[in-house]
């Protein structure tokens, strides 16, 4: 039996084996300081259809609502039992892009932190979003879009995806910009994947583009650039650098195993040395039936339920299979010959790595 790789996986693996091609430098590196900034805030979502927080288990929701009412001039008598099933306490997160100016909008993600069953149909009230320095950089508000769906009736319920989180497209207005100083003359370009070969090629390509030595490699990730000082000329210089075509060095052979989903991904440089592998499955099946034991007529015994278990052990015998592969498709064919499931394949690859037959870096996520 061949291992059932879906067609789209085979296609992606085949594409990975294609020789690398030149790419614009903007796809491989970023200028130092030109980055997003994380924002976070705490807020309230209102307008829920009875699916909000339960007050007794989430006192912070009640406290937040009382504080908000006090700011609006409304006083809640002490000891009032507030039933807030239409309100939920949430955390709001956003990414502030570089060069963002006041008045621009950014997307926000809203996530429940209490025991609200669903945020569908809710509205986020005005929530300040702060940076790591404690300053407010944006304010979020708006109606939530929740991707999940669910229904319940008579004690039964069904749910598709999760409903305790949602998004608001353009839900936050930028109130403060992040100062960004690109320096007087020297610029730094940071490769997203540190590699001495790629850094060397990038320096050569940049210097060839400008016809003079304006770039030098500091290490495997950082490239220092000598750019003009005037802002307009500096922007033109940076745009020209980003458009330079660079042939990146092929990444090392790597196998990535996802322990949660059982997914296995191999890049185009993975090879297998000669090895003999025996693979078999062992399964234990337990079936339990329940019988009724009745006491004798006019006896003092009681009717009891007696369980009866039947345990069966099934073992699929595996024979030695020779595996070897010099390119990606040969590796796929060799692994197919073992007839393993994705979960079994993870164990086989780990064993091949330990035996020295898997010539690739093994990463588990």
pLDDT value at 152 more than 90: no
| Rounded Cα–Cα distance for residues 352 and 340 (Å) | 14
Find tokens 């040969």 and name the residue: 330
The tokens for 28 are 């491989």
Q: Convert the pLDDT of each residue in 207-251 to its tens digit.
A: 999 999 999 999 999 999 998 888 888 889 999 999 999 998 888
Q: What phi and psi, each to the nearest 5 degrees, are found at residue 204?
A: -65, -40
pLDDT at 136: 96
pLDDT value at 353 more than 50: yes
How far from chain centre, in Å, is Cα 288? 41
pLDDT category at 126 given cuts 50, 70, 90 is very high
The tokens for 159 are 């749910």
3-state class of 202 per DSSP? helix
Question: Where do the DSSP E strands lie in 27-164?
Answer: 29-31, 37-46, 88-96, 105-112, 123-130, 136-143, 149-153, 156-160
| Lowest mean pLDDT across 30-34, 69-73, 178-182, 244-248 | 178-182
Rounded to 5 degrees, what angle do the CA atoms 265, 268, 271 make?
Answer: 90
Question: What does the mean pLDDT of the chain come to?
Answer: 80
Q: What phi and psi, each to the nearest 5 degrees, are found at residue 188?
A: -120, 135
| Rounded Cα–Cα distance for residues 192 and 248 (Å) | 11
pTM of the shown model: 0.66
With a pLDDT cut of 90, the percent of the chain lying above it is 34
pLDDT at 15: 41
pLDDT at 18: 44
Residue ranges in the chain assigned as alpha helix (H):
7-16, 59-71, 196-210, 231-242, 328-336, 342-355
Query: What does the pLDDT average to over 179-206?
Result: 86
pLDDT at 42: 95
pLDDT value at 5 more than 50: no
How far from chain centre, in Å, is Cα 284? 35
| Rounded Cα–Cα distance for residues 324 and 358 (Å) | 9
pLDDT at 157: 59
The tokens for 81 are 């039992």
Distances in Å between the alpha carbon of 105 and those of 97, 137, 176?
A: 10, 11, 12
pLDDT at 190: 93
Question: How many of the other CB atoms lie within 10 Å of CB of 331?
Answer: 25
pLDDT value at 89 more than 80: yes
């Amino acid at each position: 039996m061949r291992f059932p790789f879906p067609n789209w996986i085979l296609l992606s693996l085949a594409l990975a084996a294609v020789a690398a091609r030149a790419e614009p430098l903007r796809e491989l590196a970023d200028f130092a300081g030109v980055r997003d900034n994380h924002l976070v805030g705490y807020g309230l979502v209102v307008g829920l259809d009875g699916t909000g927080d339960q007050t007794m288990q989430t006192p912070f929701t009640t406290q937040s609502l009382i504080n908000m009412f006090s700011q609006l001039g409304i006083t809640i008598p002490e000891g009032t039992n507030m039933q807030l099933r239409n309100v939920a306490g949430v955390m709001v997160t956003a990414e502030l892009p570089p060069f963002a100016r006041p008045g621009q909008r950014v997307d926000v993600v809203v996530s429940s932190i209490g025991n609200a069953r669903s945020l569908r149909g809710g509205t986020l009230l005005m929530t300040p979003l702060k940076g790591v320095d404690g300053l407010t950089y944006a304010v979020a508000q708006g109606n939530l879009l929740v991707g999940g769906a669910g229904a319940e009736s008579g004690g039964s319920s069904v749910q598709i995806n999760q409903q305790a989180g949602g998004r608001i497209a353009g839900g936050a207005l930028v109130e403060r910009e992040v100062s960004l100083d690109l320096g007087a003359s020297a610029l730094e370009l940071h490769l997203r994947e540190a590699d001495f070969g790629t850094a060397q090629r990038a320096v050569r390509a940049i210097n060839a583009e400008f016809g003079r030595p304006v770039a030098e490699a500091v290490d495997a990730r950082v490239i220092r650039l000598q750019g003009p000082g005037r802002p307009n000329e500096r922007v033109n210089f940076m745009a020209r650098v980003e458009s330079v075509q660079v042939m990146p060095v092929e990444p090392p052979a790597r196998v990535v195993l996802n322990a949660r989903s059982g997914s296995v991904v191999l890049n185009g440089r993975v090879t297998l040395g000669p090895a003999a592998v025996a693979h078999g499955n062992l399964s234990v099946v337990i079936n339990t039936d329940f019988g009724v034991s009745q006491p004798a007529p006019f006896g003092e015994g009681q009717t009891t339920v007696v369980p009866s278990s039947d345990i069966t052990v099934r073992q699929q015998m595996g024979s030695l299979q020779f595996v070897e592969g010099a390119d990606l498709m040969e590796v796929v064919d060799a692994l197919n010959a073992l007839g393993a499931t994705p979960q079994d394949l993870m164990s086989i690859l780990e064993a091949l790595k330990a035996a020295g037959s898997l010539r690739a870096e093994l990463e588990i996520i």
